[in-house]
Amino acid sequence: MKADNHYEAAFEAYLRERGVAVVPVVEARRSYLDPGEVKSPDFIALAPGGAKLVVDVKGRKFPGTGAGGKARAVWHNWCEREDVVSLDRWADRLGPGYRGVLAFVYHLAPHVEMPPDTPDLFAFRHRIYLMRGVSVTDYRDHMRTRSPRWRTVHLPSGDFRELVNPIAHFLAAPAVMVESRT
- Picking from 177, 89, 76, the residue whose alpha carbon sits closest to that of residue 136 is 89
- Picking from 18, 21, 146, 22, the residue whose alpha carbon sits closest to that of residue 8 is 22
Residue 179's pLDDT is 56
| Residue 28 confidence (pLDDT) above 70 | no
128-174 pLDDT, tens digit each:
999 999 999 999 999 999 999 999 999 999 999 999 999 999 999 77
- Spatial separation of the C-alpha atoms in residues 60 and 49, rounded to whole Å: 28
Residue 146's pLDDT is 96
Mean pLDDT score, 38-42: 91
Q: What are phi and psi of 10, to 5 degrees?
A: -65, -40
Weakest-pLDDT range from 5-19, 28-42, 74-88, 157-171: 28-42
- Spatial separation of the C-alpha atoms in residues 106 and 83, rounded to whole Å: 18
Query: How many Å is the maximal CA-CA distance in the chain?
Result: 64
**pLDDT band at 101; cut points 50, 70, 90:** very high
**pLDDT band at 33; cut points 50, 70, 90:** low
Q: Where are the domains of the chain?
A: 6-171
Considering only residues 73 and 141, tell me which one the structure prediction assigns the higher pLDDT. 141
Residue 2's pLDDT is 61
| Residue 78 confidence (pLDDT) above 60 | yes
Supply the CATH classification number for the domain 6-171.
3.40.1350.10
Considering only residues 180 and 126, tell me which one the structure prediction assigns the higher pLDDT. 126
**pLDDT band at 103; cut points 50, 70, 90:** very high
- Picking from 150, 153, 133, the residue whose alpha carbon sits closest to that of residue 142 is 153
- Spatial separation of the C-alpha atoms in residues 121 and 123, rounded to whole Å: 7
Report H helices in the chain.
6-17, 81-94, 136-142, 157-163, 167-171
Residue 175's pLDDT is 66
